[in-house]
Amino acid sequence: MSTDASDTDRPAAADDDGEDAPEAYESLLGEYRRIANVRSAGEMLSWDQQVMMPEGGTPARSQQLSTLSSLSHELLTDDAVGDALAELDAIELPAEQAAVVREIQRQYDRAEAVPGELIEEISTTSSEALPAWEEAKAEDDFESFAPYLQKHVDLKREYAEHIDPDRDAYEVLFEEFEPCLSLERAEQILETLRETLVPMIEEIRNADADLATDAFTSLGSYPADDQEALCRDVLSTLGYDWDRGRLDTSSHPFTAGTTFDSRVTTRFDESDPLGSLLSTVHEFGHATYTVGLPDEHYGTPLGEDRDLSVHESQSRLWENHVGRSAAFWEHLLPTFTDHFPHAADVTPREAYEAANQVYENNLIRVEADELTYHLHIIIRFEIERALIAGEMDVEEVPAVWNDKYEEYLGIRPETDAEGCLQDIHWSHGNFGYFPTYSLGSAMAAQLYAAAEADIGADALEAGVREGDFDPLHDWLTENVHRHGARYETNELVEQATGESFTADAFTDYVTEKYGSLYDLDSV
């Protein structure tokens, strides 16, 4: 297959290691760029469906996305890709070229194992399930969504069976989102988080701490238009590239795009401005990673993110280590009160305490505090593992969900809308996605600790306090963003921090931070 005309204007394929690329490598890149462009087009259509598309557009959009998904699969499994990979397998390549081939080979092997008809059916089901989920959530009607969830479970079991019938199906699905860390290692990190957080949360709830948890929520309402204006100011302050992005609203905050066009969304609750603010900072982390990927490698694995764990490390780093920091609130509060004068008497310390409260009764994951957030993840992880393993029927999900919330968080949803229907992921059939949120949080702490060591903790904090985020942004670009998918996950963390990926930095960080906030005896 020939490359797109636009590709012929690009520089010669990567000889970043100082060597010319073999002809087969050039051919492989040409084929892959076409695949990447089809995928990007599909992602933009999906963004439009969630943000801009009229409600009646689903039938056509479903077919459009299904066609693009099928086309991407056909291009990836084309003989031209397989032949180039086979030829390159016998050639010793420079490091960056070898990384590109490694990443394409991984995708090719998985795609070749799955029939194109199944890929198309999964895409169609996802497109149809999205509006069904939105309506079911609005109407608090899990039963209307259950058939779509069941179909996704069946299709993804079949998908995993094609890839490797001898392995745990959930493990195979997890690799879609985190191909470089084993599920066993992910479970070990989740267990470390559980062992650290469950007793800490219990101690916090029993602590006699007088924090200003309602510093903002006790003051009245915060109009959505004013919240949006604040979020735009915050994005500008953080360094969001408006020439390559935009801010919109959606039922579930997300980011989509490429290094040239990375769009963020948020949502607003007029009783609590922190939800949209911190969600926007979170999505900024995703967007700044995507925009930070090297332009010259667009359409190749060197211009793509490493995986969702790394992506989440960027969003959680900006949301928690920056957006929830005392220094950030010292900088932001004057801007905040410009938009909301009725909060003029809130002090930076009170704002910091409000942003870091540990909730006793929050049911919504995207509105959760930094600690209980991970129990939300563990609940979803356990439920979807049971679904894929056939240990739970779809009809049981609401009851099991509610029981686990009562067991792990001491609260029980009164409706499915605030329970098992709150997240968008299962409408897309994204089983195996949720663990990457907690993996990303652990990675964020390790990366931020390394940034503090390199930049200087005091200098980094002073920069945040003064609204100068360039040192942190430059450090992340140098150590994470610019590498794309050159390194596998653990190697990327080792390159950036000097150590293998563990949860140690996260446990140290939350122990120190929340021990000080709540004056815990264990610290």
**Position 96 in a domain:** yes
How many whole angstroms separate alpha carbon 50 and alpha carbon 60?
14
My answer on whether 342 and 448 are in the same domain is yes
**Position 172 in a domain:** no
My answer on whether 277 and 390 are in the same domain is yes
| Residue 263 DSSP symbol | E
306: closest CA among 108, 164, 493, 473? Answer: 493
Binding site annotation covers 312?
yes
Q: Report pLDDT digits (tens) over 417-449.
A: 999 999 999 999 999 999 999 999 999 999 999
Q: Report pLDDT digits (tens) over 201-253.
A: 999 988 888 898 899 999 999 999 999 999 999 999 999 999 999 999 998 89
My answer on whether 161 and 222 are in the same domain is no
Split at pLDDT 50, 70, 90, the class of 522 is low
My answer on whether 128 and 224 are in the same domain is no
**Position 449 in a domain:** yes
Choose one of 136, 166, 196: the last residue of a domain: 166
How many whole angstroms separate alpha carbon 365 and alpha carbon 430?
16
Instruction: Reduce the DSSP state of residue 364 to 3 states and report it.
Output: coil
My answer on whether 155 and 211 are in the same domain is no
Task: Provide the residue type at 95 as one letter.
Answer: A
**Position 272 in a domain:** yes
CATH assignment of the domain containing 361:
1.10.1370.30
**Position 175 in a domain:** no
Please give the tally of structural domains in the chain: 2
Place of tokens 């690009």: 10
Please state the length of the chain.
523
Q: How much is the pLDDT for 521?
A: 73
**Position 304 in a domain:** yes
Instruction: Classify each residue of 380-404 as buried b or exposed e, where b means 16 or more C-beta atoms within 10 Å of its C-beta.
Output: bbbbbbbbbeeebebeebbebbbeb
My answer on whether 293 and 396 are in the same domain is yes
My answer on whether 23 and 153 are in the same domain is yes
The proportion of the chain whose per-residue pLDDT surpasses 90, expressed as a percent, equals 92
**Position 159 in a domain:** yes
How many whole angstroms separate alpha carbon 300 and alpha carbon 29?
7
My answer on whether 126 and 41 are in the same domain is yes
pLDDT for 141 beyond 80: yes
Q: Report pLDDT digits (tens) over 457-512.
A: 999 999 999 999 999 999 999 999 999 999 999 999 999 999 999 999 999 999 99
Binding site annotation covers 286?
yes
My answer on whether 246 and 330 are in the same domain is yes
Contact 367, 357 (CB under 8 A): no
Choose one of 166, 199, 227: the last residue of a domain: 166
Contact 34, 80 (CB under 8 A): no
Q: Report pLDDT digits (tens) over 187-206.
A: 999 999 999 999 999 999 88
How many whole angstroms separate alpha carbon 87 and alpha carbon 89?
5
**Position 178 in a domain:** no
pTM, two decimal places: 0.92
**DSSP per position, 143-198:** HHHHHHHHHHHHHHHHHHHHH-TTS-HHHHHHTTT-SSS-HHHHHHHHHHHHHHHH
Q: Which domain holds residue 326?
A: 183-518
My answer on whether 278 and 136 are in the same domain is no
Contact 235, 280 (CB under 8 A): yes
Distances (CA, A) of 503 to 129, 188, 403, 494, 508: 35, 9, 28, 14, 9
My answer on whether 153 and 267 are in the same domain is no
The catalytic residue positions are: 283
How many whole angstroms separate alpha carbon 472 and alpha carbon 455?
8
My answer on whether 367 and 419 are in the same domain is yes
Query: What is the longest distance spanned by two Cα atoms in the chain?
Result: 69
Choose one of 166, 191, 225: the last residue of a domain: 166
Contact 247, 232 (CB under 8 A): yes
